[in-house]
Structure 1
């Protein structure tokens, strides 16, 4: 390896040397590996250090070993040899002035790695745009175990501290220090001085010591610390520093001051993390300190997009990542205090300002709500989405400002990147700001798309700040007048997510319905009759003409959602009977089957009525009440073909028991405040099945033997994964003799020379006939193997109401 290398980092030139020098002998970690770590974690470290004066601990010859550690040298003043581009600020002390470096990006971290400044220490305050120290923006507690104690006891004390901080309205984040203990951080609003924050922290430590004298000590005296955890509150002093979150430590091994989740602190095996473990966590998008990082330019000027840029690498994410503004040029900060009441303000280039709400399937589903203000999109993450009824409060957590280009972004953020997951635009349009009191209250009217999630009507919202980054979002009682539009096309059905009772959030209210084993259908009554469509738009009325009776029960302009079901002699749903009925195409056969195997439409949702217009944005509980008012909710509707099935009651265990007694496939749990999302799969609807069923795409068959020699022995199946078909196994049982010949005839019309997937084992592909991936079937099974294959699948039948792109796994790999 070359002894000296010139590199360009973040547009700045730097000379690196001695890259093969071992800085951590016990682990064999070289300077090159340290530089790789600093480059990887820059996106999460920079927001924690930006704007803060940096003191450093250097180990130019490495840290030594545990048996023979080397002492570092401590430095405050910026080295004379530092590159001219390293930003800096002067800080006056009582008898002298120090010039401190500031961290504004990966280039400064690379320079610190080059000079072996392994530990980065910062205070809890930042400089402002004029280089003036500000009040602290976070509180820190250093939990240091005394002799005989370790991380487990520190975690216990951390939880005690957390309870007190929560009572004070402060959310806290634990950091395993990379040394012996735990640091605990809580974000502040900057209204209190360092002296005031220190006093609060001191009182917290004293009260814990009084309540838990055998576990906690708040005084530094060594004789008091054996068998106790010291709650060191003193690092909130303006002149004190703490190792920066994500900094390396100068221990025998390259441990890191690593932010952790509270769930991790409950792990009895809790341990310090090294640099490789932290890089893996950051690659997975885990940054528990994200809410405590703030966008601040290293030269003190506020650039609202610095926090956004620090979390994203334009080479790794499809999101727009604009260039930084020139140093010293400040863009208007959205979190400042200078905004008061305002009417409609102009957007970029004098146009009307915009809003966008993006449905974001990250580690947890949330709705990113963004308002244009001062050249950026001020952003909140709303876990349950903007409320669509007055009086409903929704948590809205303010996040980093986003660039205006983000309003058009849809796509998948890659795994390992910040915010990894699928992003789609839920609604977008123009915004009229009626009041903007930064940090306090925002009132705005959002005018979205006709087919958007807000229902195509302008809606007035208020955002009220509560604490830290937490706000409450509410639809105001006084709304702009607008009529909900009516479209001629029937909407696509909303889809449920497969799950179990454990997936039902206890904080939500749920209603339970039967899971019917049939064909999903949307029905609309027009002046000239009934339109009946499958979930993929197929006209079902020629196959089930008796369901036109809906027009006799509800007025024109009504749209409902339901399931087409065939009942056996015990009045229980039979998918086999429905399949037989669904194959018929000749009018004479259909007419005969109407008598022998009549179809029923079990209606479970009302999407539109002529009296109320579109109901898509109304909560489920209201839609259900209006449906029962329209058709009756006791299982009777004036027609033995059209009915609203009775609700199963609560709790979930009782609903499951009732559904078993009725011979149903399972239950569907529906959140009572959930809106109807056409064509989208939602966690507001959770389907819980008694037995494991799986839809799959047929990709081939193997010839049968004996009585099946002229038909088939088994079907080869696949399920889409990450946009591509993956082999899911083969099924050879459960076929009715009458369907084998018909199934073979259908498959022989769509044969192809090669398999539609590339991972079929040789044992299964031997003598196979391959077919185009067009037909969808369903199997019952007893789980999945570790390779993702279906275990003991049993054929249930073709699903002509489904298309291959709708298929997805409904059960996890065991």
Structure 2
């Protein structure tokens, strides 16, 4: 039956959530909705201010699709629109600016979202005609001919990267989710679409001339046999390209997936499905983040599209009926903690819990049935069938629990990456549902009850909950706050959540009555270069390139671009300029976007950096500047 979801303040009717959209993998519409909700933050900057052409599969990819340009009758009034005049008349296109827009498109079975390279806000209010379309990016679509492997496309993409770098343009690869690769580049200033098309054609023609047996720039299909076709025409104002992070309407739920240049050089390169993409996003963020800016507002000659917000709140509120996607458990969304210091908090007024590296899960048990919801409001019941065991031990209790689903690795530490990819990895792991609050018991709403009393009730339920092998109620940490933080750090936990003992449970709110402390790591690194700043940092340092001493040079561990004051940047630039050298001090090859704009320096300066943890590629995650270590030399590390 139809259900109502609230996404970003918009109510959306969703239907047929169990419909199989990808028969080969059994992927349902529910899974598609969950994917677009999770990917919205990173996808929206790459499609915002661009009219969307959709390719829809109403009956799943086992049947035929159809292209759709004009918005259908019944489109919500809140969906932004842009009107384009064609010879045959005017067509009204949708423009996505929020997660709600993406959810509505997914509900309409629009699996593929295609956009032009030009942007509405760059083309001028009231502009009309392709000649006025302007863009700040370029794309080349590498389309392999019959029997040409993806590996061959990747080799050609690497050659395009070098050509673009010689022209001073950073570039970004995207495996298309089909057979080939898209290569994007960002212009330093907007240009007309036809100018972008001319640049792309020049690159394609030059590579085809240099590699005539491997590459073609010809539109003739006959010329593509055993070659990679470089489609430069997609920069034309009338053309569109599958958007980054869009699903493909293929046998499997493959995605137009942003990649790194290191991956393109890997001979085992393959297309990615939506599970892979989500795992990578959680671990490493968006590889395409530097391509498109966050657009503050977009205006066109037909509709004021208002403010585009990259940050979204994806709280979904369900209504009556057995919804498979809903955002509430008995009308409750999880309470969230504020980022505030806990060092001065004492045991008498505050309680201290571990902060776990997993999925926030609300669980409802009623008459032997257990239903699970994520923090963003997505039904996770099918994702963790192991928690059905709670239905046996909780008989006689109608209860709503709040907790975290975690995966312990072989060393006994929680590992989010392992949790998210556990079905596709052979690593040893142990699942646990760590319960830290009770919100409802046998028809009594406990959200207005002080935390101290709710904890007493939870402690009374603890023997029952813990009798299930999948669940436990973790003990509290000894205070005060500084001691709790040290205890969490010593045990390798993500951090600490401090909760005011008198606090009520405030559904859906981030409150200073709950405070989170994340455990950051400190490391001493050597500065090997820097990239110039942009915008407000123009004329100074944008980020430092840092490494750790290794045999033969420095092992690159990432960029540090936050934590500086203006005086820090001025002092660092003055200190590094006399150390400038002509080649990289780092071992191996850095990604071209990093190396192409880098200024290399003698590796003499030791710095202290704070970071969360390590990425899967051996780089610092969320590094932040702390200062220069004047007491140490690189040889001391």
Query: TM-score under structure 2 normalisation?
Result: 0.53
| 3-state SS of 2:5 partner | strand
Asked if 1 retains the 8 angstrom alpha-carbon contact of 2:218 and 2:229, the reply is yes
What residue in structure 2 maps to residue 52 of structure 1?
50
Asked if 1 retains the 8 angstrom alpha-carbon contact of 2:547 and 2:554, the reply is no
Q: Note the C-alpha offset of 1:472.
A: 4.1
Asked if 2 retains the 8 angstrom alpha-carbon contact of 1:122 and 1:243, the reply is yes
Q: How does 1:680-695 map to 2 (within 5 A)?
A: none
What residue in structure 1 maps to residue 163 of structure 2?
164
| 3-state SS of 2:245 partner | coil
* Inter-partner Cα distance in structure 1 for 2:67 and 2:572: 63
What residue in structure 1 maps to residue 108 of structure 2?
115
* Inter-partner Cα distance in structure 2 for 1:205 and 1:248: 27
What residue in structure 1 maps to residue 193 of structure 2?
194
Q: Note the C-alpha offset of 1:621.
A: 12
Distance change (3 Å), C-alpha of 1:155 and 1:296: same
What residue in structure 1 maps to residue 393 of structure 2?
none
* Inter-partner Cα distance in structure 1 for 2:626 and 2:223: 61
| 3-state SS of 1:295 partner | coil
Q: Note the C-alpha offset of 1:316.
A: 7.9
| 3-state SS of 2:24 partner | coil
| 3-state SS of 1:154 partner | helix
Q: Note the C-alpha offset of 1:505.
A: 6.0
Worse overlay, 120-129 or 305-314: 305-314
* Inter-partner Cα distance in structure 2 for 1:414 and 1:226: 55
What residue in structure 2 maps to residue 672 of structure 1?
604
Instruction: Deviation per CA, 1:693-739: give whole Å up to 9, x if none.
Output: xxxxxxxxxxxxxxxxxxxxxxxxxxxxxxxxxxxxxxxxxxxxxxx
Distance change (3 Å), C-alpha of 1:154 and 1:498: closer
* Inter-partner Cα distance in structure 2 for 1:304 and 1:85: 11
What residue in structure 1 maps to residue 7 of structure 2?
9
What residue in structure 2 maps to residue 204 of structure 1?
203
**1:504 and 2:504 correspond:** no
Instruction: Deviation per CA, 1:345-365: give whole Å up to 9, x if none.
Output: xxxxxxxxxxxxxxxxxxxxx
Query: Larger % of helix: which?
Result: 2
* Inter-partner Cα distance in structure 1 for 2:138 and 2:305: 24
Instruction: Deviation per CA, 1:256-281: give whole Å up to 9, x if none.
Output: 00000000111111000001111111
| 3-state SS of 2:30 partner | helix
| 3-state SS of 2:113 partner | strand
> Among 75, 91, 111, which residue is 2:68 paired with?
75
> Among 70, 87, 92, which residue is 2:85 paired with?
92
Asked if 2 retains the 8 angstrom alpha-carbon contact of 1:412 and 1:422, the reply is no
Q: Note the C-alpha offset of 1:307.
A: 6.0
Q: Note the C-alpha offset of 1:676.
A: 9.1
* Inter-partner Cα distance in structure 1 for 2:189 and 2:573: 39
What residue in structure 1 maps to residue 96 of structure 2?
103
Q: How does 1:208-219 map to 2 (within 5 A)?
A: 208-219=207-218
Q: Note the C-alpha offset of 1:96.
A: 1.3
* Inter-partner Cα distance in structure 2 for 1:191 and 1:298: 17
Asked if 1 retains the 8 angstrom alpha-carbon contact of 2:55 and 2:68, the reply is yes
* Inter-partner Cα distance in structure 2 for 1:303 and 1:505: 46
**1:39 and 2:34 correspond:** no
Q: Note the C-alpha offset of 1:155.
A: 0.5
| 3-state SS of 2:33 partner | helix
Q: Note the C-alpha offset of 1:308.
A: 5.0
| 3-state SS of 1:292 partner | coil
Q: Note the C-alpha offset of 1:167.
A: 1.2
Asked if 2 retains the 8 angstrom alpha-carbon contact of 1:175 and 1:245, the reply is yes
Specify every segment of 5 or more residues in structure 2 that has no aligned partner in the other structure, as ranges: 316-333, 341-514, 524-530, 559-570, 580-584, 587-600, 611-624
* Inter-partner Cα distance in structure 1 for 2:192 and 2:634: 52
What residue in structure 2 maps to residue 181 of structure 1?
180
Distance change (3 Å), C-alpha of 1:81 and 1:670: same
Asked if 2 retains the 8 angstrom alpha-carbon contact of 1:500 and 1:687, the reply is no
Greater Rg, structure 1 or structure 2?
1
Q: How does 1:695-714 map to 2 (within 5 A)?
A: none
Distance change (3 Å), C-alpha of 1:108 and 1:122: same
What residue in structure 2 maps to residue 309 of structure 1?
311
* Inter-partner Cα distance in structure 1 for 2:284 and 2:556: 27
Asked if 2 retains the 8 angstrom alpha-carbon contact of 1:135 and 1:191, the reply is yes
**1:241 and 2:240 correspond:** yes
Q: Note the C-alpha offset of 1:504.
A: 2.0
What residue in structure 2 maps to residue 223 of structure 1?
222
Q: Note the C-alpha offset of 1:92.
A: 1.4
Worse overlay, 221-230 or 20-29: 221-230
What residue in structure 2 maps to residue 63 of structure 1?
61
Distance change (3 Å), C-alpha of 1:299 and 1:413: farther
What residue in structure 2 maps to residue 601 of structure 1?
none
Asked if 1 retains the 8 angstrom alpha-carbon contact of 2:14 and 2:107, the reply is yes
Q: How does 1:282-297 map to 2 (within 5 A)?
A: 282-296=281-295
Asked if 2 retains the 8 angstrom alpha-carbon contact of 1:497 and 1:682, the reply is no
Distance change (3 Å), C-alpha of 1:135 and 1:620: closer
Distance change (3 Å), C-alpha of 1:169 and 1:310: farther
| 3-state SS of 1:109 partner | helix
**Larger relative contact order (CA 8 Å, sep ≥ 6):** 2
Distance change (3 Å), C-alpha of 1:683 and 1:251: farther
Distance change (3 Å), C-alpha of 1:147 and 1:622: closer
Alignment coverage as a number of residue pairs: 381
* Inter-partner Cα distance in structure 1 for 2:91 and 2:572: 63
Q: How does 1:247-262 map to 2 (within 5 A)?
A: 247-262=246-261
What residue in structure 1 maps to residue 436 of structure 2?
none
Q: Note the C-alpha offset of 1:672.
A: 2.9
| 3-state SS of 2:91 partner | strand
Asked if 2 retains the 8 angstrom alpha-carbon contact of 1:27 and 1:253, the reply is yes
Distance change (3 Å), C-alpha of 1:106 and 1:209: same
* Inter-partner Cα distance in structure 2 for 1:319 and 1:303: 32
| 3-state SS of 1:112 partner | helix
| 3-state SS of 1:267 partner | coil
* Inter-partner Cα distance in structure 2 for 1:304 and 1:503: 51
Distance change (3 Å), C-alpha of 1:622 and 1:226: closer
What residue in structure 1 maps to residue 540 of structure 2?
473
Distance change (3 Å), C-alpha of 1:469 and 1:284: farther
Q: Note the C-alpha offset of 1:190.
A: 4.2
Query: TM-score under structure 1 normalisation?
Result: 0.42
Instruction: Deviation per CA, 1:390-415: give whole Å up to 9, x if none.
Output: xxxxxxxxxxxxxxxxxxxxx99979
Q: Note the C-alpha offset of 1:191.
A: 3.5
